[in-house]
Each structure stands twice: as structure tokens, then as C-alpha cells.
A and B are shown apart, each in its own frame.
Chain A
Amino acid sequence: MKFAVITFPGSNCDYDCYRAVKDHLKCQVEYIWHREHSLNNCDCVILPGGFSYGDYLRTGAIARFSPIMQQVIDFADKGGPVIGICNGFQILLESGLLPGAMLVNRNLQFICQTVHLKVENNRLPFTNRLTAGQLLRVPIAHKEGNYYADDRTIKELEDNGRVVFRYSDGSGQADEKSNPNGSLNNIAGITNKKGNVLGMMPHPERAMEQLLGSSDGALVFDSIKNFLGAN
């Protein structure tokens, strides 16, 4: 069982994802530089957070043209699990693997804080160790995390259980007050039709151990391992 962490110039959560797999899952993991043309037979692809190409054009807009992205798209098309976190989510949106777009946060500022996430779909490779309605404490850290899509897309996501995580408060209430960035329907993470591609703004790799405040993110990694082990 091997994980790939794709490193773009400007990725900066690649190290944290690498450590999460290595230290917590104790699985094989390798960095794959964006100019490579092969995923080296990895079983799961992680697109980490950061500022690929400085986000100077639009978040994720340049990274999607990196040579490795064609491999990632082919891998996803064949049903391989792909998780994009933060900037990785933005890259998934830009490359068309997931629908919608990110706007600048409602308060126009970068926001770094721990939030509550409500689990909406626990039937995915990334969530099978979670229960529906479970609350996770996971940090967010982004300036462009205000998820937006047209009404039809939002309906399509909602009707088909493709909203995976929603921002909520400590009692599971997902409303305006518990929405940190203005995302439509408090959407924090979504999946594709087949359910093998997950994009999420919060950082599960930052919530791997109590020493750093929360270990809830580890459940997402445990789920992937569980899924891969079962296959």
C-alpha cells in the first residue's frame, strides 16, 4: 500500500501529509515532483495544501497544467482514490475533477482556526471510519475557501450525497454563524460522482495527534487505509 504526495513548486503542506501517512498510518509514501510523468504505482494520491505557483494567477490555476496532473486525472478516471486538501482541493476544481469554484473568504482575509466539521457521507474511501453526523475538530487555513457553484450543481451535490463535510458549530448546527468563510450550504468538502475523489478545505493532516490539539483528522487517513486494505 503506497501513497503519493504530489509536490508542486509552492506546495507547503506536502511535508505534513507525508508525515501523517508515514508516522500515523505507517504506510509507504513518496513525494512526486510535479514534472514527473508517473505515479510510481501508488494506490492513493494526495494533492497537498500550499500555494502552488504562488497562487499568483488564481489558486490552482497553473498547477493543473503540470505534467503529473494528466496522470492524476487518468488515475482518478480508473477509480483510484484522490484526496485534495486546501490548495489541493482548488487544483481539483481547476482540473475539472470536481465541480465549482473557490471565492475569497467572506471577510476577505486569510483564516487560520480550528472548526467543527459535520460528517455528511461516511460511505466513501475517505470516510468509512466515521459515522454520519459525527463532529470532527479540524483546522482550516486559507484565504480562498468560500465554495461556490451554480444552483444546479449545488442541488446535484446535495441530492446525491456528494457533500462530504459541512462547517458546523459544536452542536452540529450548520448555519450562517458556524460558516467561517461564506461557502454555499456550509460546504467544506465534496466528492465526485463515483466517490473516489475528495476535495476538502480543512486540513485533516493537521489534526493527527492530541499533542497538537486534535486527532480527529487521523480518522480520514485511517479510512483510506481501511479502504485500500479491503481492496
Chain B
Amino acid sequence: MTKHQEPAVDIKLARSFGLNQEEFDSIQRIMGRMPSYTELGIFSVLWSEHCSYKNSKPLLKLFPTRAPQVLQGPGENAGIVDIGDGLGIAMKVESHNHPSAIEPYQGAATGIGGILRDIFTMGARPIALMDPLYFGSLDDAHVRHLFSGVVSGIADYGNCVGIPTVGGSVVFDESYTTNPLVNVMCLGLVENKKIMRGFASGPGNLVIAVGATTGRDGIHGATFASEELSEASSAKRPSVQIGDPFTKKLLLEATLELIESGLAVGIQDMGAAGLTSSSIEMASRAGTGLEMDMAKVPLRETGMTPYEIMLSESQERMVVVAPKENYDQIKAIFDKWELHCSSIGVVTNDGHVRIKWGEKVFADIPVKALVDEAPVYERESRKPGYLDKLKQFIQNDIKEPKDHNKSLNSVLSAPTIASKRWVYQQYDHQVRTNTAVLPGSDAAVLRIRGTNKAIGITTDCNGRYCYLNPFNGGAIAVAEAARNLACSGAKPLGLTDCLNFGNPYKPEVFYQMKQAVEGLAEACKVLEVPVISGNVSLYNESLTHSVYPTPLIGMVGLIEDVSHITTQWFKEAGDIVFLAGDIQSQPDIGGSEYLKEVHGQVNGDAPAIDLQAEKKLHNFIGEAIKAGLVCSAHDCSEGGLAVALAECCFADLSSNPSPDGRGGTGLTADLSGLPGRGDFKLFAENQSRVVLSSKAEDVEKLVSLAKKYSIDILKLGTVGGDRLVIKDLIDLPVAEARKTWEEAIPNKMK
């Protein structure tokens, strides 16, 4: 077994590992010799885009990451924000785009597995999952296969592990046809004094592999994630790992028990690049070295080489660093949960990672070189030609349709707007009994047991806006997430981002990325929301084009008192409905769902955004909710005011469990106080606007509070009846509109 013969190393091999000539040269320079096969493998995965962020690092520096509530910023397995009472929320989002493109079920399932590990590794018990997903058109049979595979992969994994999937977002656009975006976010609750970090500290301490055995699945998964998909990609199906949620549940419980016991000094999950990145990142953080014997790693296949063991991405494994004397107790914990636990090496003080099989050395690399000397590139950036062309769009050239009811029905049945019940009904969103607002409102809300508090969670990003105007699109993603939280009664604490872009070597793609990140960063600064963790997913390309730039935001906010929890649904007949925020600007239908669904165009500019005004609006909503003046609050976003009002009318599922119930409550409204043409008033997606409803007796107080905050507020109408009536424009039975909206996705999936 000790004879493992390694193939010869040359540039051809390096290229097949995803390294370029320049990188291959610098590896030889660092090593002072030709690297061994195993060494080259280790370099290639740690220097892959996925692990090194080599093309995004300079941009990520733009994000504000500090704030008093930030207990852990970027750089660890997950970020953590303080919610008081000695508790923190750990949060992280990741992508599993490429694996899901070729093997949707396992690709999505293992995405959940990976993000869960990032959270419980920090000592946090996972309390919620959110899944923002982007697919092509449901008229395409292959897209339907991807969509149903991804959703059932998420469902089967998340449901089995017993973590509620409380929401997310699903967007359908041709741009994502062959390269869907499958982003997964997890939040965990941690006692602040029990936060665990990934440090391999204390030379002489043991390096222990725990969890499942190691097989050949997922080798070079990180490298695969760092290149474009092509027709040959399906041959890489073996690069997709296989999930085992049952083992993950055991690993989660065992790991939390281990952290509770205080026996370990550092823990890290084996995610992308498996044992290689987990162990080496731990040594890098602690400034130590490692010596590991591959012969001691529990394997599930015979004849595996050190190279294969180091690069395997078999799921449900963790690295633990702990003092020798604690080993027996640690093993007892993993024995109880029927999991493997094996000491595979020691922490050293020479700053090298040494990989052996028995006595034979297969790799000996300075840790610093692998992590700190990874290449960093500032790519060439060029403004894409399409941008100026699309800005020439003149919206008044669009002919106003006569029948706005018909337009509303088309927009409501657009899968991006339509009810996502088909999706979230497959997710267990209630297990662990904390979910106070179920999927379907602006933000999911979870109460924090043992306190009177709750948290709001949301994910957002409109890729089409980012395509039309990357800077504004990025800023709007943050603004909309914060607005969703404000509407739920929450004040934002922090965000995690998943930067989904195309190939950064294309200057036009890099331009989109740079602009979008600048937009995100600007909005984070103005709205005072720090970035606490994140992920970058590049090379999201199909044969002909890049996906829309999609810098997804996941944001968490604090609700000080559960009595402040607010939902989007109208509550009672007689309540008065208002539009608060930007009611003066001319409507702008650029990039709108209406323009695409009714007029078949993706055109114009993304909506404008005034971040200062946005912030004022959130402060006002927060105050109005706390003062008890708000019955419902709903953000105006995709589909514009008409869709927002319709959604407010559609009853909450939990109060209306029968699928074909009466549908909700009616509204009589008048938009004549708003500027612009009828269809534009209804469907423009102008930012910084919120639909509020209030008890008739509170109207005066609400209006004077708005005045105090210099917020424009316009009375639109009154809740009641069973029709959605917008004077001179819309008149539809709510039940009928709801049916259109509810059945759009199930009908496509039949």
C-alpha cells in the first residue's frame, strides 16, 4: 500500500488541474523544485477561484464589515451578529450552481449539507435555511427537470436533517437556462460564549477526522466549480458529491455535543477541496503547520492514493483539533452517534503541511505559500456595449394596452411573480417550532425561544436590474432586502452575499462584477448593514452567454418584541391602505416584469434608487410598527404596485389552509394621486415604496408620524369586499386573481 506511484508533473497536467502557466511557474518558484503530483493537486484546489477568491479579492475589500453588533466578520466558516441576551446569529450563503446544473438533485442536496456544516462548525445550532434559486423558462423541458430536481434535492435533504427551510426566492429568466443558480443560506443560533473557530492551534495537538468515511467522490469539485460549463460538463458528473442527510443529522448532533463539552480547540468542516482546504486553512489561521498520515484516514474505497484522499469531497466529514488527552472522550461522543473518529496527524510548529503515507512523504509545502501567496488578479474591465444601447429605450413608445386586467393576470401568472407554494410546500418550514411567519410574506420570521425577540430573514437580488445597470442593481438588492425586513418589523443587523457572475476573464463580465459590488458596498454603507460572510461563484456561463450578474443578498434583522411582527396581508375590512415613500417620481418601467411579460422586452435602465430616502423610509416603517399603527406592510418590488396590492389581498396560507378557499380580501383603491400613465402607475417598479394598511382610527397618527419623518404618504383606498378594484384601471374578483397566481407554476409543472 505504501508504493503509490505518482504520475509525472508537467504543464499539461497543471492545465488539466485548472492552473495556468503563470501559476504553474510560481508554484515551482515557491517550492524551489518541481512539485509532486499530490502537491500540485493541493495547490490547484487551494488556488482555484472557489477557494482563493483570486479574481474577486480586491473587490471584496470594498464591503463594510465592521459594526458594534458584528461578533465574527468574513474569513471564518460563517459570520455572526449579536442579538443580545448573550446570543448570536451565525449566517452564511453559498452557491452550488455547477453541480446542480449537471446533477440537480444531488447538487442541491449537498449544497444544503455544506452550508449546514459551515454553521454548526461555529458552535451554532442551525435554525433556518433559505434557498434563492434562479432558473431558465419553465417552458423548456430541461429547465423543468432542473427545477424539480433542485427543489426535491433541497426538500429531501433539509427535511431529513430537520432544519426548517423558511423561505427563499425563485426567479425564472432565459439567462439562467443552462446554468441555474442554486444558492443556499443557513442561519444558526449560538451562545456567544460558546462560539467555536477553525484554528489548528497548539503544536502537539491531534488532528482528528470525524464523520463519514472518505471516498473518491467529488475529487476536484472546487476546480470544476471554477470553470465554465460546457457540453462536456456532464462527463464531470462524478465531480458531484452524494449527500447523506441522515449521517449529516448525526454529525450535527455529535459536533454540537463536542463543542458543548469543551474538548476541542478548533473545528472546521470539510467542504470544497475537502481535507486539503479544511486542514490547511486551520493551520493558516493559527500560524502553525500540520503533519498528516493518509494511511490513518478512514476510507470507503480501497487503493485510494494520498492525492485522492486529500482532494476528496466526500460529504459529512469534519476536522477537529484537540489535545491528545481529550481523544478518548471525543471518540466516545462520535461512537455514541455511530460515526467515525480517527486521529490522522498532529499540529506542528514549522509552518509546513506534510502529507505522508506511513513514513513516505507525498507533499511538503509551506502553509503560507498555499494561502497567503495565492495569486490575486485585478482583471481587465470594459463597459459592455449593450448598456448604452438599452438606455436609449423610450418608454412612451410602448403602446398602452386597453385591458389592464389582462395585463395584471399576465404578470401574476409570470412564474417569477406567481405563488411559490409548489416549491415551499415541499420544504418542512416548521420543524423546531420557531417559524412565526411562514414562506410567502416579505420576510420569514423566527422567534428566539427564551426571549421576547424574533429575527426576520430575507434573500434578494433582481438579476435583470443588475444586467441593465450593475451598480443600481447591486444597490437595489441590498435596499430591497432591508425594506423587506423593515416591513416585517425588523431592523437589519448584517448580510451575507453570494456573488454569482460569469467568467471574470471576460472584461465585460468583470465590469458588471465591479460595478455591482460597488453598488452593494455603497448601499451597505448608507443603510448601515455590515457584510459578515459570503461566497463568490464565477464562470456561470452557458454556451452563448453569461448569466445575468446576480449578487444575491441574504439579510437578517432583529425584531425587538414579537408583538412587532408584521406581515404583508391585509387584515380586516375597513382598514385604510397607504403608499409610503417615493410617490412623486415619474413611473419607470425599465427592466420591469410588465415590460417583459406583456411587451416581450428586456429593455431600458434599472429603476433609480435614492439610498438616503430609502433609509428614512425604513426608519419610519420601524417606528410606525413599534407604535402599533401598522396592520400590514408590503414592499413594492417586482410587478410594481398592482402586484403588491394583489399580494396584500391574497390571504395568508396559515389563516386559509384549504387551497381553494375564498382567496383573501378585497380592496377598493384609487391611484389618481400618482403621476404617469395608467399601465405605468400599475406596473412600474420604482424603488423605496411600501404599501401599508392601518386601522381607520390610527390614520391620523400614521400620517403625522410620516410627516415627522418627512415621508410622503398617499391614501390609496380601503380594504373590503371580494374584488380588487383600482379605479378606472383594474376590477377583478380576488379569488380569480389568486387562482391565476396560485396555479401558474403547478400548471407548468404538470
Contacts and interface: CB of A to CB of B under 8 A. Distances in A.
A binds B: yes
Contact of A110 (B159, B245, B435, B654): B159
A107 B654 CA distance: 21
A114 B245 contact: no
Interface in B319-345: 337-338
B585 interface: no
Given A54-B245, A211-B447, A141 B653 contact: no
A213 interface: yes
Interface in A183-224: 203, 205-206, 208, 211-214
Nearest to B245: A54
A27 interface: no
Interface string A60-72: 0000000000000
B369 interface: no
Interface stretch (A6-14, A74-82, A120-128): A6-14
A138 to B, nearest CB: 9
Given A10-B160, A51-B246, A15 B658 contact: no
Contact of B249 (A12, A16, A113, A213): A12
A225 interface: no
A139 interface: yes
Contact of A213 (B161, B431, B438, B449): B438
Interface stretch (B75-83, B204-212, B421-429): B421-429
Contact of A10 (B246, B427, B435): B246
A116 B338 contact: no
A36 interface: no
Interface in A21-65: 49-51, 53-56
A51 B160 contact: yes
B161 A12 contact: yes
A49 B160 CA distance: 10
Given A110-B155, A114-B654, A211-B436, A16 B246 contact: no
Contacts of B562: 211
Please report whether the interface of chain A is mostly helix, strand, loop or mixed according to DSSP. mixed
Contact of A112 (B425, B433, B434): B425
Contacts of A111: 425-426
B661 interface: yes
A113 B660 contact: no
A45 to B, nearest CB: 20
Contacts of B375: none
Classify chain B's interface size: 35 or more
A155 interface: no
B433 A212 contact: yes
Interface string B396-430: 00000000000000000000000000001111111
B244 interface: yes
A112 B160 contact: no
Best-buried of B424, B427, B562, B658 by chain A (most CB within 10 Å): B658
A113 to B, nearest CB: 6
B572 to A, nearest CB: 17
Interface residues of A, number: 38
B250 interface: yes
B637 interface: no
Contacts of B155: 109-110
A169 B177 CA distance: 39
Nearest to A12: B162
Nearest to B253: A9
Contact of B246 (A56, A110, A143, A214): A56
Contacts of B432: 12, 15-16
A50 B429 CA distance: 13
A16 B152 CA distance: 24
B657 interface: yes
Interface string B238-279: 000000111101100000000000000000000000000000
Best-buried of B428, B433, B449, B660 by chain A (most CB within 10 Å): B433
B528 interface: no
A92 interface: no
B658 A112 contact: no
Interface in B129-162: 152, 155-156, 159-162
Interface string B649-687: 000011001101100000000000000000000000000
B337 A170 contact: no
Interface string A90-133: 00000000000000000001111111100000000000000000
A9 to B, nearest CB: 6
B657 A141 contact: no
Contact of A9 (B246, B425, B426, B653): B246
A19 B433 contact: yes
A141 B654 contact: no
Best-buried of B245, B250, B427, B428 by chain A (most CB within 10 Å): B428
Interface in B9-42: none
Nearest to B435: A212
B162 A50 contact: yes
Given A16-B431, A110-B426, A141 B159 contact: yes
A9 B435 CA distance: 24
Contact of A113 (B162, B338, B657): B657
Contacts of A109: 152, 155, 425-426
A111 B426 CA distance: 5
Contacts of B426: 109-112
Best-buried of B432, B447, B657 by chain A (most CB within 10 Å): B657
A10 B251 CA distance: 11
Contacts of A114: 653-654, 657
Contacts of A137: 657
15 contacts: A10-B160, A13-B162, A15-B432, A109-B425, A110-B152, A110-B427, A112-B426, A113-B653, A114-B657, A177-B658, A211-B436, A212-B447, A213-B436, A213-B654, A214-B654
Interface of B: 152, 155-156, 159-162, 244-247, 249-250, 337-338, 424-436, 438, 447, 449, 562, 653-654, 657-658, 660-661
What 5 A-B pairs are tightest by C-beta distance, nearest first? A12-B162, A54-B246, A213-B654, A51-B160, A114-B657
